[in-house]
Chain A
Amino acid sequence: MHEMSLCESVLQILEESAHKQEFSSVKRVWLEIGMLSCVEPEAMRFSFDAVMKGTLADGAKLELLRVPGEAKCLACLQNVEVQQYGDLCSACGNSRLEISGGDQLRVKELEVV
């Protein structure tokens, strides 16, 4: 459950942001979570609600933006989407894929009052 520590980092980002941008509570949080980012969405939702209790984001709604993994197949040279490391090329079935994106873990945007 490293999602719990990730949510604690999210809370730090929210608190810092509240200080700089002068807001007192957070209503909604958009997180960009790449498919290759070692995060389980359900664990993230569970942790988010637990960690945000009693904070400026108590009861805030969590919006998860899932971003697919991107890879280039070294056999057929096509750019393909992958769901996890170890997936085969969806075009030709080869296993030699060079991962080029989809491991991001970012706080993207907030709705605040």
Chain B
Amino acid sequence: MCTTCGCGNGETLIEGHMHDHARDHHHHTHGHTHDHASGRMVQVEQDILAINDRYAESNRSYFVDNSILTLNLVSSPGSGKTTLLTSTLSALKDEFPLSVIEGDQQTSQDAERIRATGVKAVQINTGKGCHLDAHMVGHAVQTLAPEEDSMLFIENVGNLVCPAAFDLGEAHKVVILSVTEGEDKPLKYPDMFHAADLMLLNKTDLLPYLDFDVDLCIGYARRVNPDIKVLQLSATKGDGMDAWMSWLRDEHQLQSGQETVVAQG
């Protein structure tokens, strides 16, 4: 059993953690009861995601208190997420302390790709699970011990559906869409594009060979999320990476400012 929160069981494996995890049971039900025809009726009125959200809030406070800009990177498999991440880490590692949580159903290949850049990473294998949840991330953060005033990238399981529902405590969800996918993905997977604050349109160096309509795609994304920011880039060729770096620096500064405000308040 986990000594931190008493969890046990489950198929999730976190590198550096000696046991498996499932969610815990520390929540409270308030309600009244009254009689009904066959059985007794019990009012519950409880959010199904409340347990996850409580872990997410605890992660978020930790990130804010320690000025750790945390981003939850989400996409379908094959969007170039890990390549984008390794390029980003190589460009920023002399400027900020960086760390990475890698989520995949199986293998630690991605965490090894990250470590090859010299950045520390911990792999979470979700087993049959299709998404990371805030509880797994909380444990991974304990193992990883990200520095104060740093950036933490969480590469979620490649899946445009399930990770949309689970807050991990991140500052922003960043959705990555590559131009080799359909431009109507924002309409097909609206929950994810609605949940994200930034969309990175990746592999733009391939646009000359494709029928991908960039404006149409951005229009669809704005239809499900009028506030979504969009950056176009190619992680392999480097086009557009400067704008992404600037966005990261600005967000990191905002995160540090947030900590100062909390400390003064």
Contact = CB atoms under 8 A, between A and B. Distances in A.
5 contacts: A9-B52, A86-B223, A105-B47, A109-B43, A113-B38
Interface string A72-113: 000000000000111000000001100100001111111111
Contacts of A66: none
Nearest to A113: B39
B42 A85 contact: no
User: Majority SS of interface residues in chain B?
Assistant: mixed
Nearest to A3: B162
A107 B51 CA distance: 13
B194 A85 contact: yes
A85 B225 contact: yes
B41 A110 contact: yes
A57 B29 CA distance: 17
Contacts of B33: 21
A12 B22 CA distance: 11
B174 to A, nearest CB: 18
Nearest to B10: A8
A84 B190 contact: yes
Nearest to B129: A5
B188 to A, nearest CB: 9
A16 B28 contact: yes
B44 to A, nearest CB: 5
A71 to B, nearest CB: 11
Contacts of A15: 25
A1 B130 contact: yes
Contact of B27 (A12, A31, A96): A12
Contacts of B44: 13, 17, 107-110
B42 A86 contact: no
Contact of A112 (B42, B191, B224): B42
A45 interface: no
Contacts of B166: 2
A17 B29 contact: yes
Contacts of B49: 6, 9, 105
Contacts of A8: 22-23
B22 to A, nearest CB: 8
A5 B157 CA distance: 15
Residue picked from B129, B222, B223, most chain A C-beta under 10 Å? B223
A3 to B, nearest CB: 9
A63 to B, nearest CB: 12
A106 B187 CA distance: 26
Contact of A16 (B27, B131, B164, B223): B27
A2 B194 CA distance: 18
Contacts of B163: 2
B23 A12 contact: yes
A49 B130 CA distance: 19
A107 B29 CA distance: 11
Interface in A1-33: 1-2, 5-6, 8-10, 12-13, 15-17, 20-21, 23, 27-28, 31
B193 interface: yes
Contact of A27 (B38, B129, B194): B38
A50 interface: no
